[in-house]
Chains A and B, each alone.
Chain A
C-alpha cells in the first residue's frame, strides 16, 4: 500500500473528425497511504478518464502519476500493481464465483485454508456467500458487480481503483454496503480511488473528494470542507441533499455597517452583518452594489425564536410550500420573497402548506459568492482567503 500523487496531469483526446478534447486539465492532488479518495462529478467531467490514466488504460498526455515514490505513467497496467473493479473488467465465465474471487490469491500460491477464509470474509461482507458455488453467467448485474468488487478488494496491491463500484446495486443494498466496504478499506488500510456521480456515496465513504466539472478540478477537500467551505457555486450546488440554498443578492450600506439584499419579488430582504469582525472584513472586500449570491445550507437555518448565542444575520417570515417527514428528518419547501428554498430539521415540523414560519440565518453559516466569477468570497462571515489557509489542498487545487 502506498500514497498516490497526481501532478499537473492533462489528458487530451485527439480524433480525426472532432479535433481535440481536453478531458482533464492540469490536475494535481494526492492521498496518503491508506486513505480513500472519491472522484466525483457528472458524466463527462473527467473523473473516469482520470481513473483510467491511473490504471494505465489511457495514456497521460502530460504530467506525472506516482504511487509512493514510483513514477507509474509509462508502466503497463499489469506492472502497476493496482487492483481494479471496472465495469468492463469481466469475470471469468468458466470459473465459479469463489474461484473468480480467489483468482489472484491462487496465482500467488497462498495456502488453501487462508484463501478460503479470506474469500468467506469478503463474501459475507458483500452479501454474496450464497453465490460462491455459482457461475457468473446467470448472475444479475448487481451480483456480478459485487463479485468483481470482492475480487479486487481481496488481492494484495499498492492501490485499489473502483469505477462506480455500486452503480448496479439497488438503493437499499447500496446503503448497507457503503458502510461495510468503508470498514474493510479502513481496516486493511487500502489506498483507494473510486469514481462516482453520487455525492451521497462520495461523502459517506471518502476521506477526500475531488469534485470535477468540465475536466477541471473544482475543489479537493474533506467532506466537511466541501460542505462548510465550498470553493464556488458549482461545488455548493453539487454537494448536499438538498443542495445549498442559493439566492441572488447585492451588497448595500446600512446605518450600522454592511447589509446584503436578497432579490426576489417586491422589496428585497435585507440581511445585516453585525458590526465587528464580520462586517469589517466584508467591508474591506465588498464594494457597494456588488452582485453576490448568498448561500445557506438547508439544515443550518433555525426555526422559531432566535436562540441565545447565535449571531443572526436576520430573521424573516417564510411561507411553507411543502412538508415531508422522511423518518429521521423533515424536508420543508419554503417561499421567501418569491424564491424557493429548502429547510431540513431533525424533528417533524408542525406546519402545513400555506403556514408561515420564522427563520433565522446564523452568520456563521452564511456563504457569499461572487455572482460573476462564481467563486466563494466568505464562509461564515470570514473571507475565503483566510478560510482557505486552514485547507491548503483546497486553495492549491483551485488556484483561484
Chain B
C-alpha cells in the first residue's frame, strides 16, 4: 500500500469535468512532480488532496486511511503557493510561527520549532526581518518554512518557482530536493515547466486533461514518452514528430521515409510495417555533418538558436520536411553556411499510432 493513494478521483467544476478518474500513488518521503500545461487540472488535484474542495467520486487515502471524512486541518497536509502570501506586518519569525500560534503551542516550543525549520532552510539570520526586507529567495524559504512548521505528512507545492527570477529559480531547482529531503515529508510538486520537472522529481507524473498519462523517472519519460501529447510537452527544443509509413527494405530491415530520403529504422516495431505512424526523433539525434556523405539528408539551415549551452537549429529537407537539430556548442561554425546535411540517428527513435496517439512498442 502506498503512502498517498489516489484512486479513480473525479471532480467537475460547473459543467467542466476537471479531474477524470485520476490514479496516482506515492511512497512515504517521495518527491513526486506533477507536470502538465495550464488548465490540465493540477491545482484542482492539489485542492482535492488538501480537502479544500470535495471530490465527486473516487478517493484520497494517506497512510492507509481514507480522507473522505477527514477535515482539511486534520489531514496533515500543507500547501504552499506561487505567491509567497506572507503577512506583511509580521516578521519572518512570526510568519513561520503563525500556524503554531493558531494551535496554541507554548512559547518555548514555538521558538524551538521555528529555529529548527529556519536552520534547515538557512534563514536563521533573517528571522527578525519584515517581509519587505527579505530578498525573493528569503521570502520563498520563509513561505516554505511556514508550510513545514506543522510537520505535515504531505506537502503540496503549487508551482512555487513560477514568480521568481530566472537565477533564483535555477538555484532553487537544485536546492529544493536537498532541503526537503531533511524533513522526510512526502512532497507533491506541481509545475508547467518540463525542465523543472526533470530536475526535481525522483519520478514525474505527466498530467493532461484531468488524468495522469505517464508516471516514470524523468529520463524514461524523455526517451520513451507514453503518447504524442507527452512527447510534444517534454523537451526543449521539442521532439521532432514526423508522419511516415515503415517499409520492408528488399526483404531485409525496416526503413522509413523522411521527406525524400529513405533511412534504416532499426528499432521500428514489425507491426507498423505498411501502416501510417508518427516517428519521434529527439533534436540531439539529428547530427550536423561537415560534408554530404553516406546516409545523409541534404538540408537548408533556416534558423540558428543558441540555447544556453546547446544550440538548436531549424532545418528543412527536400519534401518539405521540417526538422530541429540540437548540438553541443557549435554555434559559430554553422552561422555562415546555408546548405548542409544532417545524419539522423534512429536508434533512439520512438513510434506512435497516429489515431490513438499511443507509443507503439
Residues of A within 8 A of B (CB): 42, 170-172, 175-176, 178-180, 182-183, 186-187, 198-200, 203-205, 223-224, 227, 237-238, 240-243, 298-299, 321-322, 324-329, 331, 333, 342, 344, 346, 353
Contact = CB atoms under 8 A, between A and B. Distances in A.
B306 A203 contact: yes
B309 interface: yes
B235 A327 contact: yes
B28 interface: no
Given A179-B324, A204-B312, A172 B307 contact: no
A179 B199 contact: no
B167 interface: yes
A224 B331 contact: yes
A296 to B, nearest CB: 13
Nearest to B331: A224
Nearest to B217: A325
Contacts of A172: 37, 194, 232-233, 236, 238
B194 A243 contact: no
Contacts of B232: 172
Given A179-B324, A224-B331, A241-B166, A171 B177 contact: no
Which of A182, A224, A325, A328 has the largest number of chain B CB atoms within 10 A?
A: A328
Contacts of A242: 170
Contact of B236 (A171, A186, A299): A171
20 contacts: A171-B192, A172-B194, A175-B236, A176-B238, A179-B303, A179-B324, A200-B308, A203-B306, A203-B307, A204-B306, A224-B332, A240-B308, A241-B308, A242-B170, A298-B309, A321-B178, A327-B235, A328-B235, A328-B282, A328-B284
Interface in B275-314: 282-284, 302-303, 305-310, 312, 314
B305 A243 contact: no
Contacts of B223: 327
B160 interface: no
Contacts of B303: 179, 182-183, 186
Interface in B158-190: 165-167, 170, 173-175, 177-178
Interface string B211-226: 0000000110011000
A240 B166 CA distance: 10
B5 to A, nearest CB: 28
3 pairs of A and B residues whose beta carbons are closest in the complex: A204-B305, A327-B222, A175-B236
A175 B238 contact: yes
Interface in B313-359: 314, 324, 326, 328-329, 331-332
B324 A223 contact: no
B195 interface: yes
A170 B314 contact: no
Contacts of A199: 166
Contacts of B238: 172, 175-176
A241 B199 CA distance: 13
Interface of B: 37-38, 165-167, 170, 173-175, 177-178, 192-195, 198-199, 218-219, 222-223, 232-238, 282-284, 302-303, 305-310, 312, 314, 324, 326, 328-329, 331-332
A59 B310 CA distance: 40
Contacts of A170: 37-38, 192
Nearest to A203: B306
Contact of B302 (A178, A183, A203, A205): A183
A223 B199 contact: no
Contact of A346 (B165, B282, B328, B332): B328
A271 B283 CA distance: 38
A238 B307 CA distance: 14
Contact of B314 (A171, A179, A326, A344): A179
B40 to A, nearest CB: 11
B309 A329 contact: yes
B198 A203 contact: no
B198 A178 contact: no
A205 B134 CA distance: 34
A196 to B, nearest CB: 11
Contacts of B167: 237-238, 243
Contacts of B38: 170
A223 B307 CA distance: 10
Given A171-B192, A328-B282, A331-B199, A241 B306 contact: no
Contacts of A327: 198, 218-219, 222-223, 234-235, 282
A183 B315 CA distance: 10
A223 B233 CA distance: 27
Contacts of A238: 167
B308 A203 contact: yes
Contacts of B237: 175-176, 179
Contacts of B302: 183, 186-187
Nearest to A344: B309
Contact of A182 (B175, B222, B305): B305
Which of B167, B284, B308, B310 has the largest number of chain A CB atoms within 10 A?
A: B308
B207 to A, nearest CB: 14
A329 B173 CA distance: 15
B170 A241 contact: yes
A223 B306 contact: yes
B25 to A, nearest CB: 24
B174 A324 contact: yes
Nearest to B307: A204
Contacts of A224: 306, 331-332
Contacts of A200: 166, 307-308
Given A240-B308, A344-B309, A322 B177 contact: yes
Nearest to B191: A171
Nearest to A298: B309
Contacts of B233: 172
Nearest to B197: A326
Given A171-B192, A175-B236, A324 B166 contact: no
Contact of A328 (B177, B310, B314): B310
B312 A179 contact: yes
A301 to B, nearest CB: 12
A223 B329 CA distance: 13
Nearest to A187: B302
Contacts of A203: 305-308
Contacts of A175: 236-238
Given A183-B303, A326-B199, A327-B234, 17 more contacts: A186-B302, A186-B303, A187-B302, A200-B307, A224-B306, A224-B332, A243-B170, A299-B309, A321-B174, A321-B178, A322-B178, A325-B219, A327-B282, A328-B310, A328-B326, A331-B199, A344-B309
